[in-house]
Structure 1
Amino acid sequence: MTRSAFLSWFHPDLLEDRLLHGCALWQVITALGLPSEATPAPTSWPVSEVSWFGLGLAVGSAKADQQRPAVFRLGSRSLQAQLFCLLDPSQPSGDAADPDPLDPDQWCYWLVPFHQLHPERQTIGVAPLIRAHGAGLRCDQLPSAFRALVSP
């Protein structure tokens, strides 16, 4: 039995906010090759704070929804950047699939330094993120994005 099969059996609603956020963090630490013990399980959601590669980061998660656009809450401005994690089952092929937060291909990311976000902004939607920062990153692009942020 695989871990994903166990999770699907034990808690079939991985789209519940707390579990979705945990899945988002798991996808990122897996993509970055970090040991899981380097990042404790989140105690808050949909935004949590982590420290990776010497950067203080807010990590926010959301799920794409056709009925209403996904909106991310912003983390503390005392941190250097925010990583926005969007579960979007239409990624990457454009074919709508059942949402599966354990599938890394269904996630899209934006790594944005806080100085690039309006200081009074409390939330941001996907459309403004795309307008300001492009279509987003795939899991395999995260390591180079982090390297660029750490060593510009």
Structure 2
Amino acid sequence: MIKWIDILSPRLRHLHRDWLHFRAHNLMPAVADYNGFARVEAVASIQQYSAMVIMPAVGEPQFKHVGDGLGGVLPACSSGMRFSDLASPVMRAALTGPFHRIATSRQPETRRGNTRGGETSDYEMLLLPFCDSRLRVCIIHAVYDLAGIDWKRALV
């Protein structure tokens, strides 16, 4: 069963539709489709607000790409960094937990959060999985909308 996800950001809704196009009638798009997805204009234009994680069958997951605009959301993360390179176990769990959950659920997910501890969300993120022929998640593409919208007002 495919889970319904709640996306408030118009930009992320558009990216989700692009991901659905590559998915077609499958549960997830194939890893071979990832380069085509990454070349979509909407994806390429917000590369500084996206991250890509490789989930290998053997070995450790790693951040293949971390956009320059994600310093407040993914602090201490950089391109090429393995998950275990994050020094603090608490930070490691907080930053990598959503990626592990997507690898297990095999479905896209949205999350909202804040970096300043305020009442409103600073960002919304969309996590999109890509799989191999055995339906194992190999790539997770995360896109962040850092618009700073008052999401509580948006929901009313």
TM over 0.5: no
TM-score (norm 2): 0.35
Q: Which has the higher contact order (CA 8 A, sep 6+)?
A: 2
